[in-house]
Chain A
């Protein structure tokens, strides 16, 4: 007999409230975002917070959703890549990444953009060192690092010019 132990979790994601029922109390936020809310831009990379592919914002701070139990962020404001910007209306970080062609496979990019978003929210023109520190928990395997850092450096400058 399956053990029926369901838990209700209330989340606020990209400005919308969601009520989700899970059967494992420790279900990480990542799986709820992807499977229940169908927000697939947040990606599984390692499941242990070592690669940053699953990064989202919680009250403006970058966290790894693969190792964050969903219950621990109830009532907080969660932002995913879909909430940052859309194809039609990109966030300056997203459009700068495209402008600089700062990616190859792109699997790591949404997590990197979210890590950078936490930084530029507070500091529109961060120094290179601050960008590197903000990306300390993100990995890229294709070798697009320099373009990515360059795109983050330029994102706000070009935004304020236009």
Chain B
């Protein structure tokens, strides 16, 4: 099969063959990607792709990931696009490298290229050693040539590496010792902590430096505007110095923080910038249609990564090196250059793995913290790790959202009209997109404040992600009220607005089905023509043996959620079983997935399982909360997540489609899982909860 046209974005941005593959070291093929390991297994999948197209054993592949010195600039590792865009780009480049080298060898050997084959990098003629190999021929080909996609890709049916559930290459070190940026140790390295203001608008009035400076091991106390950092010889010294600084700091404006956390009431009252899309004609509706209307809300959520954000920085002269678990080494480099006012070319950012990343967390912010403090104590490297409270309070939140849907359904169960309104803060405030957008930059003197950001449905709107259902709709209109003025920072968390929108859309689909008395499975199938969508729904229902006409209000029920992520990526259907007594307990989950060609099937299943469990945690338990003095959810008891004894059994069926392009899965199961739980609870209680999370208090408020 030939490569799909147009070429993927990463290849168009980085068209030279030498940006992707190198045979500079004997016996090794080095491949370059800016897609980084976030715990999703991307390093393993990239190695599989390269091994397949270069016809090399995995042991001969070295993946260089997220290093501004070597990697192609592929922007961020985000949006479940690493395999679809980055992996497909690498695959095409590797195929072109192999074919170009083989063609060159054929010319040298004066034989037809069809007689040549590759074994461990050696070029065989009619199955016998020709004396040539990748490394001998590589210097003779033009590595500046454009990757044009005019290549034959390996056939999936003959694949040796693609499609196999190979073990993750990054896991063994993680269960035996040092593995993360948090664990990095450099000669002369110092440890630092940063004192944050209580609220985003607070300013430092006075700071008692004496108590901190009297402590052992304090190397440098750095104050610039509202930025306070302390560098120490040892880590616990920095923790103690931070405590001393915290009690000695006075802030102004710290009591100014107020927002009504009844999101359904408060968000529609905020200033908004509106945009909409519309497809089809809003014609006269046939007689006998039923109109349905409902409004749903979702609170702000925290990333709540297990490991607080961390970075190491070192200045040598004017050259800055950064070790970071950022999702985008190039955008971070550009933002750091602006914040530090130094030439971008003097900065090297090297991705180093961190704890689980589900979107735009504190990784980039802590890199600037470390750089600011490393400049004060050069040439010592400085390691900064946030405290748990910083991680939960200062990483960007996912935006609270309100979704109102109005629809009409015919008596025979066809959706006749669909109109929705979404209120949401921005979901894409990553560094260097709208401005510098780094936390410490907004606190130093002179400050570089955060930009005012809103989204536009006709450009990129994370708040509208998955607001257009995959169902057949004659007419649909979607209006986004983008809210630039929320008093806390919101940005990308796994699915962006997709989780809230799928929760709303799939709740509403059940409400429409109820309105005309059709079962929710039959109703979905009646309004879906996409055969891949129908198949995942039918599979999930069959796996779960769900009988949708079971009696309601018994405290026990199942429910379904379906979505095609981003309306372009993987298809996922989830059936969740719940038991509702004092609390909601999810007892069993069945899930069917169609992600096209599966590069690493077990890797996909692992991502799908994880997305389901994380979304159940969001749905049942999670909400970031605020008081007059800022964020009040700063520890695990204030921001509880799903625990081991609350996790349901999850069964995933992967529908393999080896002849279709691979589709991203990292975020695909979250929306359907949340919706399935909500729909199951509605049936168990015979009463619908439209505001998340489904805590005991929320359920009592709804059913009272």
Contacts and interface: CB of A to CB of B under 8 A. Distances in A.
A41 B182 CA distance: 10
B392 to A, nearest CB: 9
B182 A27 contact: no
Contacts of A132: 644-645
Contacts of A135: 644
A104 B306 contact: no
B613 A143 contact: yes
A2 B175 contact: no
A1 B214 CA distance: 6
B38 interface: yes
B173 A87 contact: yes
Interface string A28-59: 10010011001111011111101101000000
A107 B236 CA distance: 20
Interface in B1-60: 38-41
A51 B650 contact: no
B591 interface: no
B641 interface: yes
A4 B39 CA distance: 43
Given A47-B388, A143-B611, A41 B307 contact: no
Interface in B173-230: 173-180, 182-183, 185, 191, 213-218
Contacts of A109: 174-175
Q: How large is the interface on B (under 10, 10 to 19, 20 to 34, 35 or more residues)?
A: 35 or more
Given A48-B635, A90-B176, A146-B647, A107 B307 contact: yes
A109 B170 CA distance: 13
Interface string A138-152: 111111111101000
B688 interface: no
Given A48-B388, A141-B304, A104 B649 contact: no
Interface string A85-116: 11100100010011001011111111001000
A142 B666 CA distance: 11
Interface stretch (B122-130, B499-507, B518-526, B602-610): B602-610
B307 A2 contact: no
Given A85-B176, A94-B175, A143-B614, A107 B356 contact: yes
A82 B497 CA distance: 41
A24 interface: yes
Contacts of A6: 216
Given A47-B388, A105-B355, A147 B641 contact: no
A142 B307 contact: no
Contacts of A98: 167, 171-172, 175
Given A3-B214, A104-B610, A107-B306, A113 B240 contact: no
A2 B214 contact: yes
A11 interface: no
A27 B216 CA distance: 13
A141 B305 contact: yes
A105 B357 CA distance: 8
A44 B174 CA distance: 14
Contacts of B560: none
Contacts of B218: 2
A119 B358 CA distance: 31
Nearest to B613: A143
Chain A interface mostly helix, strand, loop or mixed? loop
A97 B388 CA distance: 27
A70 B171 CA distance: 30
B89 interface: no
A40 B607 CA distance: 27
A141 B641 contact: yes
A156 B617 CA distance: 30
A143 B616 CA distance: 10
B643 interface: yes
Contact of A106 (B167, B171, B614): B171
A62 interface: no
A141 B306 contact: yes
B32 to A, nearest CB: 23
B612 interface: yes
Contact of A139 (B39, B167, B234, B306): B306
A148 to B, nearest CB: 8
Contact of B217 (A1, A23, A28, A107): A23
B216 A23 contact: yes
Nearest to A90: B176
B466 interface: no
A145 B307 contact: no
Interface in B351-369: 353-358
Contacts of B179: 40-41, 106
B168 interface: yes
A81 interface: yes
B214 A87 contact: no
Query: Residue among A40, A50, A136 with the most chain B CB within 10 A?
Result: A40
A31 B235 contact: yes
B182 A43 contact: yes
B238 to A, nearest CB: 10
Given A98-B172, A107-B355, A138-B644, A143 B610 contact: yes
Contacts of B602: 101
Contact of A51 (B240, B614, B636): B636
A38 B644 contact: no
Contact of A35 (B235, B356, B609): B235
Interface of A: 1-6, 22-24, 27-28, 31, 34-35, 38-41, 43-48, 50-51, 53, 81-82, 85-87, 90, 94, 97-98, 101, 103-110, 113, 132-133, 135-136, 138-147, 149
13 contacts: A45-B307, A87-B172, A87-B176, A101-B165, A103-B168, A104-B39, A106-B175, A107-B307, A140-B644, A141-B355, A141-B641, A142-B614, A143-B617
Interface of B: 38-41, 165, 167-168, 170-180, 182-183, 185, 191, 213-218, 234-237, 239-240, 304-308, 353-358, 385, 387-388, 602-603, 606-607, 609-614, 617, 635-637, 641-645, 647, 649-650
Given A43-B307, A141-B355, 7 more contacts: A38-B185, A46-B388, A101-B167, A103-B168, A132-B644, A136-B644, A142-B356
Q: Which 6 A-B pairs have the closest CB atoms?
A: A105-B39, A143-B613, A106-B174, A143-B610, A105-B356, A107-B355
